[in-house]
Amino acid sequence: MKGGVTPALFSLLEAIINAQNGFNIAKVRADFPILTRETRPGVPLIYLDSAASSQKPNVVIESMNDFYRKSNANIHRGIHTLAEEATFAYENARHKVARFIGADMHRQIIFTRNATESINLVAQTWGRQNLQPGDIVILTEMEHHANLIPWQMLAEQAGIRLEFIEVTPEGLLDLDNYEHLLTLQPRLVCFTHMSNVLGTITPAREIIRMAHAVGALTLVDAAQSVPHFPVDVKDLDVDFLAFSSHKMCGPTGIGVLYGKKDLLEQMPPFMGGGDMIKRVYLRSFVPNEIPYKFEAGTPAIAEAVGLGTAVDYLTSIGMESIAEHERELISYALERLEEVPGVIVHGPSAEKKGGVAAFSLDNIHPHDISQIIDQDGIAIRAGHHCAMPLHDKLKLPATARASFYLYNTPEEIDKLILALYKVKKILG
């Protein structure tokens, strides 16, 4: 290796940190049954694709199985034992999520299918109710399609105007450009808390403060932040915040929208059906109170149970401990990647990003990189990562992306580096 942290020193430093904060990587890895899998005989899985979807610990899997075995029933409508148990489990998960992100009350937590649906909900309720032709919504050039296309659709439907905070060559948001855009008097500012491509952690508190100073509301796509470091909605003073269960050790099929109470109460329902009503007549209806106004039909009950257990699991380890582990991992990963001739890592330096390393290798297509290293059991992402405009900005058709979570180790990074040398040998 070049100068810097050696694997041995990394292990020593991590052991010291683990002793201080109680984070035990061996114990954490033992909690995830899939990490014992071999992708082919003698080839253990090395999962470096958590930015797309995280793996699930045993406690989450078993909590959902236990619900189906013992308490499966529909919620809110029944008064028999199973219905009451299922309702308690579902609503208890809502309370857990509220505490996890620092919400004032559980009623501010809306369960959706995912972060994408959460953002669409805001666009199609608050947006259609409040935005007029010519009104400005500010986004950024690094947004995931989930926080871009809903606003493009609303622009077509309602005639709103979209403006974009530029991304600097370093991979950061240009706050001078943002300050200029704020002079246009936007109604809403929507931005990612952490880029799923560049790993950039945006200065959310400052962006929100500046938006509020000109009378704009804010929406934060927290799909890549809530799973990885502490997020407190009151500290941020954010108006809406969206994230997904499946990226934070929970199941697929359930996500969260947080909103300030007065905003949620003023918004119309998103979908019509059962449970989102207080009274129904043949030609009209009275909507239910929040959060149920936005949760039409039978919800993802077992998935809510799994999400609640995932929250318990992450809380037991400690979000700051997880964040520190990932900071060490990304620092080590960037150093090792820079050793490989022809590798270009996109995005800012380690201290300004989360556990995401998107990179290019010579002129080799990322799909070829991914396919070759998959032979060594290494799972990374290859493509535009649902961020085509950002890749256009970078003048790249695609990138390879390694992303890290609480269960990854420096030894897995070392194996990634060896695999990239193998790619160069085959295709370089």
What pLDDT sits at residue 15?
Answer: 52
Quick check: is 190 catalytic?
no
Please give the Cα distance from 97 to 79 (Å, whole number). 25
Domains and CATH numbers, the chain: 7-48+318-427 (3.90.1150.10), 61-316 (3.40.640.10)
DSSP state of 126: I
Alpha-carbon separation of residue 124 from 156, 164, 190, 410 (angstroms) = 12, 20, 14, 44
Collect the ranges in the chain with pLDDT lower than 50: 2-3, 16-17, 19-20
Catalytic residue among 59, 149, 386, 388: 386
Contact, 205 vs 235, CB < 8 A? yes
d(CA 195, CA 198): 5
Q: CA angle, corner 259, sides to 268 and 125, nearest 5?
A: 25
- Rounded distance, CA 9 to CA 138, Å? 44
User: What's the predicted TM-score (pTM) here?
Assistant: 0.94
DSSP 183: T
Give the H/E segment covering residue 204: helix 204-213
What pLDDT is stored for residue 3 in this prediction? 46
DSSP-H helix ranges across 345-407: 366-374, 388-394
Give dist(CA 330, CA 123) in Å, integer.
34
Helix axes 81-100, 58-70, angle to 10 degrees: 150
Angle at 113 between CA 112 and CA 117, to 5 degrees: 75
Which alpha helices (H) appear in 253-365, and where do they start and end? 261-266, 301-317, 319-339
265 Cβ contact list (under 8 Å, min separation 6): 289, 290
Q: Which distant-in-sequence residues (6+ apart) come within 8 Å of 267 by Cβ?
A: 125, 126, 129, 259, 294
Q: What is the pLDDT of residue 138?
A: 98
